A and B are shown apart, each in its own frame.
Chain A
């Protein structure tokens, strides 16, 4: 199991995380801390992008994560298919991608560049990328931002499906 114990992290002397514990068992772990409470820092520590000043990170070694970052972090000049192909590499499966994008109200064959997508479309594509990755856990930072009720419901259902067998960290103001 992924476990963070007694994590402390400060930037320029200002503490962001203080003696924080977190476990990610199979299922959805929901995090609705207020803004500025260190949610994103925690996610970055889980991903190995930050090293905690103190504390232990266990169970992340060798794990593959599917991630929705706070920002979409898409290759804006490319189309949806190429975004998925580039990020997923060998894990990319045309059929699966087509099916998932359809569920999320997107089209794999859409020749439009991602930079011409609306905010909600970009969010859905970022989610699709994380979902299609050959991952052991999902880390989702505000995945519902900019989505209408219908797409939120679809995304929630997909997250619940994934969480039946694998851990999901859901950072959101909105409970699933």
Chain B
């Protein structure tokens, strides 16, 4: 009942902002400035009926998810090494701080010099994902129960048994929070990279063309598409992670 009430409130809040959007669009009276939600929906449905729309989403998502996955693997390996070897952690610290602090646009322009535009979103989404996952895993490993670690030391538990029995359950909740944050960042930065690098047939490419031809409804439709794609992939990923958390008995649903 409580959940039903919460869901109703959320739907009402969303409806309120859609209404404001529609009213603002009607007051302005120019679709080129601000198309209404109904116009955007119609355009989205028209786009969805074309093959290039799905191809664009497929290419962009695949590249962003490739960067995301590669960064996740690298971040976990680096965090494990940084946890085990404090000097390696000190060594990585400036790099991680730099990636966090430097504006994504600077990275995109710099990366354009290094790689072909088609690989740009892979590299940029990986760069945005790495610090979040690295720090999340490191934090989780640091939160491993010291009493269990003492027990493991007294019983001379093997590396793998410590990893599975103590570290994985400690890391999974913060890893979950980190990848949730990172996936959203990856989609935002990956699409931004495509808008600057303009690899053909990608969502970023379509977004850019919508902007230069003043097709504002297209701009909105593509933006909605990106948000939907990011949300769907996030839900799938979190579902898989929650299953892993449940299997490990550290279910953190509702976090």
Q: Say whether B151 contacts A77, CB under 8 Å.
A: no
Say yes or no: is B213 at the interface (Cβ < 8 Å to chain A): no
Interface residues on B, range: 10 to 19
Scan B147-161; emit 1 where CB is below 8 A from any A CB, else 0. Answer: 110111111111001
B241 CB → nearest A CB, Å: 15
* A75 part of interface (Cβ distance < 8 Å): yes
**Interfacial chain A residues near B250, Cβ < 8 Å:** 77
Check if B169 is an interface residue, CB within 8 A of chain A.
yes
The reply on A73 being an interface residue by CB < 8 A is yes
A87–B157 touching, CB < 8 Å:
yes
- Are the CB atoms of B154 and A89 closer together than 8 Å? no
Question: What is the chain A residue whose CB lies nearest that of B245?
Answer: A77
A31-72 contact mask (Cβ, 8 Å, vs B): 1 or 0: 000000000000000010100000000000000110101010
Interface of chain A residues 83 through 128 with chain B (CB within 8 A) = 85-89, 113, 115
Interface membership of B99, Cβ < 8 A: no
Establish whether residues A65 and B154, one from each chain, have CB atoms under 8 Å apart when the complex forms.
Answer: yes
Interface pair B151/A87, CB less than 8 Å apart:
yes
Instruction: Determine whether the beta carbon of B166 is less than 8 Å from that of A69.
Output: no
Residues in B whose Cβ lies below 8 Å from that of A65: 154
- Within the assembled complex, what's the spacing in Å between the Cα atoms of A129 and B151? 11
Report yes or no: B155 in contact with A87, Cβ–Cβ below 8 A: yes
Is the CB of B248 closer than 8 A to any CB of chain A? yes
User: Which of B151, B157, B164, B166 counts the most chain A CB atoms within 10 A?
Assistant: B151
Q: Which residues of B contact A129 (CB under 8 A)?
A: 155
- Interface contacts (Cβ under 8 Å), in number, total 48
In the assembly, what is the distance between CA of A129 and CA of B156, in Å?
13
> Which residue of chain A lies nearest to B165 when distances are taken between CB atoms in the complex?
A75
Question: Whole-angstrom distance from the CB of A8 to the nearest CB of chain B?
Answer: 22
Q: How far is the CA of A38 from the CA of B24 in the complex (A)?
A: 72
| Closest partner residue, chain A, to B151 (CB atom) | A73
Flag whether B249 is at the interface (Cβ < 8 A): yes
8 Å CB contact of B148 from A67, A73, A89: A73
Separation in Å of the A148 CB from the closest CB of chain B?
A: 25
Please give me the residue from chain B that is nearest to A90 by CB atom.
B158
**A174 is an interface residue with CB less than 8 A from chain B:** no
A76 within 8 A of B: yes
Q: Are B249 and A76 in contact (CB under 8 A)?
A: yes
Cα A67 to Cα B147 with chains together (Å): 13
- Expressed in whole angstroms, the minimum distance between the Cβ of B247 and any Cβ of chain A is 9
CA–CA, A115 and B148, complex, Å = 14
What residues on A are CB-neighbors of B161 within 8 Å? 85-87, 89
B154 touches A86 (CB 8 A): no
Q: In residues 198-255 of chain B, which contact A (Cβ within 8 Å)?
A: 248-250
A72 to B236, CA, bound (A): 37
CB distance from B158 to the nearest CB of A (A): 6
Tell whether, in the assembled complex, residue B249 and residue A69 are in contact, meaning their CB atoms are under 8 Å apart.
no
> Which residues of A are found within 8 Å of B166, using beta-carbon distances?
75
When distances are taken between beta carbons in the complex, the residues of chain A under 8 Å from B169 are: 77
Q: Which residues from chain B contact A115 at a C-beta distance below 8 Å?
A: 249
Q: Which residues of A contact B248 (CB under 8 A)?
A: 77
Q: List 13 other contacts, CB 8 Å, given A73-B148, A77-B249.
A: A49-B153, A67-B154, A75-B165, A77-B250, A86-B164, A86-B165, A87-B155, A87-B157, A88-B155, A89-B155, A89-B157, A115-B249, A129-B155
A positions within 8 Å CB-CB of B: 47, 49, 64-65, 67, 69, 71, 73, 75-78, 82, 85-89, 113, 115, 129, 133
Q: What are 24 residue pairs bridging A and B, where the CB atoms are less than 8 Å apart in the complex?
A: A49-B150, A49-B153, A67-B151, A69-B150, A73-B147, A73-B150, A75-B166, A76-B249, A77-B169, A77-B248, A78-B165, A78-B249, A85-B161, A86-B161, A86-B165, A87-B152, A87-B155, A87-B161, A88-B155, A89-B155, A89-B158, A89-B161, A115-B249, A129-B155
